[in-house]
Amino acid sequence: MMKKIYALMVVSYLLWGQGLWAEGLIAKYVKEDLSKLNLEALFWKEVTPETIQLIAQPMVAPRPQKTLTEKLWVQVVHNGEWMAFRFKWKDKEKSEAGPLGKFSDAVAIQFPVKEKEVPPIFMGAKDSPVHILHWRAQYQKDKEKGFQTMKDIYPNMNMDMYPLEFANQYSHDEMLKKITEEQREVFVSGKSAGNPQSFQKIKGVDEMMAEGFGSSSVIENTRAEAQGIWQKKGKEGEWVVQISRPLALEGGSILKAGQKSFMAFAVWQGGEGEVGCRKSVTMTWVPLIIEDKK
């Protein structure tokens, strides 16, 4: 029964969505430096935000029971070298993860990788990869305030000592004083395994490749930039996030002025327990028309 309802939702969404986005989003050409993040830049006022309809991710469990983010407002500009996206969506609270059981607000854009091939919308498929830029409020906190230590996450916590950290200014043990951070991190399994989750997110945004659900892997040293701000609006609140990327990201997606590509979007409301597959997504690729340079 549930499957039938989902199928019906998906079909009606596709019919409706296709009509709405037949023309696609236009990436307007501007002359400003887009590698610098500026959420209030004047050019944003000249680009009409397009409304993108999202739906609770319906394909794989665990999935959300209802669509928490129905609308995502998107603006796109480029300057021939860089492309910038400005997102806006309603979210009544700012969620930056941290403690156990708390998740982060987030937004992601997905691009096809291979030219002239549109991969399956749900994060691609084997040999049909997608390229993703994933901004998280949690990563942004990293960028602004540094990697979140236990003391940052739990300001009132107290801990006698961690392994190899008992050397202090009064210690006479020269051996212990020489112990490096790397040696201490042997006891921090995420870090010692080299998991990108366990290190500071300097850019506030992750660049990833994926070949299907659950297969995303982070590309090191991304050139993308991101900045977000949550603001209260009456009883509601909203996120405004800018993600900027070079048009050509080697090893990822290559966009060119005057050409057409595709995008897909996803939004997570961390405060409502959304994480991973629990997200609101676009169900069809949204055409991206990149204006030629003037």
According to CB under 8 A, which one of 19, 155, 194, 234 is a site residue for other proteins? 194
Cis bond before residue 62 (omega within 30° of 0): yes
Q: How far is CA 185 from CA 164, 166, 192, 273, in A?
A: 10, 14, 6, 30
136-175: which residues touch other proteins (CB under 8 A)?
A: 149-150, 153, 157, 159, 162-163
According to CB under 8 A, which one of 183, 187, 236, 251 is a site residue for other proteins? 187
According to CB under 8 A, which one of 275, 287, 289, 291 is a site residue for other proteins? 275
Indicate the residue among 25 and 264 with the shorter CB distance to other proteins: 264
Give the max Cα distance, the chain: 74
Residue 24's closest CA among 61, 74, 64?
Answer: 74
Indicate the residue among 277 and 281 with the shorter CB distance to other proteins: 277
Instruction: Report, in Å, the least distance between residue 104 CB and other proteins.
Output: 10
By CB under 8 A, tell whether 189 contacts other proteins. yes
Q: Does residue 213 sit in helix, strand or coil?
A: coil
By CB under 8 A, tell whether 4 contacts other proteins. no
* Eight-class DSSP state of 211: S
- Going by their DSSP bridges, the two strands 25-29 and 286-290 should be labelled as parallel
By the 8 A CB rule, do 128 and 213 touch?
no
Query: What span, in angstroms and rounded, lies between the C-alpha atoms of 101 and 205?
Result: 22
Indicate the residue among 28 and 184 with the shorter CB distance to other proteins: 184
Indicate the residue among 151 and 293 with the shorter CB distance to other proteins: 151
According to CB under 8 A, which one of 19, 22, 42, 100 is a site residue for other proteins? 100
According to CB under 8 A, which one of 276, 287, 289, 291 is a site residue for other proteins? 276
> For residue 186, is it left (φ>0), alpha (ψ between -120 and 50) or beta?
alpha
Q: Specify the stretch interacting with other proteins by CB under 8 A; choose among 57-65, 169-177, 237-245, 286-294.
A: 57-65
- Side chain identity at residue 7, one-letter code: A
Chain residues that interact with other proteins, rule: CB under 8 A: 2-3, 60-65, 97-103, 149-150, 153, 157, 159, 162-163, 187-195, 197-198, 213-216, 273, 275-277
